[in-house]
Amino acid sequence: MNSPRLPLSNIRIADFGWMIAGPLATRVFANFGAEVIRIESGSRIDEIRVVGARPEGIESPNVAGVFNDINTSKLSVTLDLNTDEGLSLAKNVIEISDVVTNNFRGDRMGKWGLDYDNLKKIKPDIIALSMPMMGSDGPHQDYGGNGINIIAGAGISSITGYPDKAPVGTGSLYPDFSGNPNHASIALLAAIRYRNRTGKGQFIDLAQYESTVSLLGTSILEYTANGKLPDRPGNRSQNMAPHNVYRCKGMDRWCAIAVSTEEEWQNLKKGLGELEWMNQPKFATFNQRKANEEELDEGISNWTSDKDAYEVMNLLQSHGVPAGVVQDTEDLLKRDKSFTDTHVIDMPHPEIDSMKVHGETISMSGVTPKVDRAPLLGEHTEYILGDLLGVAESKIDDLYVSGVLK
């Protein structure tokens, strides 16, 4: 089932990942031609097949929105790893794979005899990726959390929101969908390249906690170098004013405006139609605008509040002022043509009409990724056992009956 001309074809991944960050790390491989095999089981269903947004009234492990989005183009084999035969079939899949991935906490893989040392015995040049929240060693290695906990633990919450309010973090499961899977795919790509050149596999230990801390970048360096702790500044910025989102016409509509230079400030004044109040000395320089920021924000809000957010954006952009609508998901999916045309795919699905999924984020001039539907639970069990592992058809039937392929 490999697609020969895509850049990542001829790579096979045995994917023990579950929930979000693990599976998302291998999605890009599947869409760019690799054969990614989800090793899962009906006896302990991956929770992401069930939770979150899903069509109402259908009891099925195949229709949840996030599941379908993060597992495009993959295959699914169901194996009960707590049976000897199931485990041995999983090892057979590993034997013909280049990469084994998981994002369990602690030593779950080790309990199946699938830790790196044992994987090497199955396939000496195997590349193994582990993504436990806290890493594979250290005093907190057994702590298991998910996206919500990582946002808080890795400090994103502490710098997001308002100083007089709780550190609420992001409404999205930010690290699950950005840094952590990205960093994991990067490591895998590099390790595959290295193995191709040297014949050596390796173990990649990606602590999701550390990987998310790295997104705080210089907020941490400022503390380590200058002893200064960042606060929760809302949307304010140290070197831009005005810098906020401003209420527009309609329910919960906002436009962001960010002015960094004197030229942009003059442009903003022109864009707003040379309003008298903006010429007051208290807004004449950056330092004065920063000192009177609350009043400045109020003045701009008064101007934006009876206008359409997109009109505000287009008018200000045409005057050379950085401005953008605070788009909601509905805008992104329907209104924002720059997305919907190229990045949202209406994927046919056998159990429901269709399911909207993201395309690949990156466009390349020479390659078009092939984004296919996420697999139904166990959809490719027969292909993987029969075609890939050469198990006889009658034997497969026996395995079904004995519950090994549950």
Decide whether 165 or 273 has the Cβ nearer to another protein.
Answer: 165
Residues that bind another protein (rule: CB under 8 A) add up to a total of 150
Instruction: Confirm if 109 and 90 have CB atoms less than 8 A apart.
Output: no
Establish if 298 lies at the interface with another protein (CB under 8 A).
Answer: no
3-class DSSP assignment, residue 158: helix
Binding positions for another protein, 101-130, rule CB under 8 A: 116
Measure the CA–CA gap between 261 and 277, rounded to whole angstroms.
19
Beta bridge partners of 244: 257
Binding segment for another protein (CB under 8 A), chosen from 85-93, 96-104, 220-228, 279-287, is: 220-228
Chain residues 43-62 in contact with another protein, contact rule CB under 8 A: 52-56
List the interface residues with another protein, window 131-170 (CB under 8 A).
Answer: 134-135, 137-162, 165-170
Asked if 81 is part of the footprint of another protein (rule: CB under 8 A), the reply reads no
Report the alpha-carbon distance of residue 175 to residue 216 in Å, rounded: 12
- Tell me which residues in 378-397 interact with another protein (CB under 8 A): none
Please state the closest distance from residue 281 (CB atom) to another protein, in A: 26
Residue 201's φ and ψ, nearest 5 degrees, are -85, -175
Look up tokens 């924002």; give the residue. Answer: 336
Is residue 287 a contact residue for another protein (CB under 8 A)? Answer: no
Nearer to another protein, 219 or 382 (CB): 219
Query: x/- string (CB under 8 A) for another protein, residues 13-32?
Result: -------x---x---x---x
Q: Considering Cα of 114, then 118, then 121, then 123, what sign does the dihedral take?
A: positive
Size of the chain, expressed as the number of residues it contains: 406
Which of 43, 60, 185, 368 lies at the binding interface for another protein (CB under 8 A)? Answer: 185
To another protein, the closest distance from the beta carbon of 161 in angstroms equals 6
What is the footprint of another protein within residues 223-262 (CB under 8 A)? 223-226, 228-230, 232-235, 237-240, 243-245, 247, 252, 254-258, 260
Residues 327-366 that bind another protein (CB under 8 A): 327-334, 336-339, 343, 355-356, 358, 361-366
Q: Does 87 bind another protein (CB under 8 A)?
A: no
265 binds another protein (CB under 8 A): no
User: Could you tell me the smallest distance in angstroms from the CB atom of residue 141 to another protein?
Assistant: 8
- Going from the C-alpha of 242 to that of each of 6, 165, 296, 311, 318, the distances in angstroms are 46, 22, 7, 19, 18
Region at 252 (left for phi over 0; alpha for psi -120 to 50; beta for the rest): left
Element (H, E) at 173: none
Q: CB under 8 A: which stretch of 89-97, 211-219, 276-284, 370-378 binds another protein?
A: 211-219
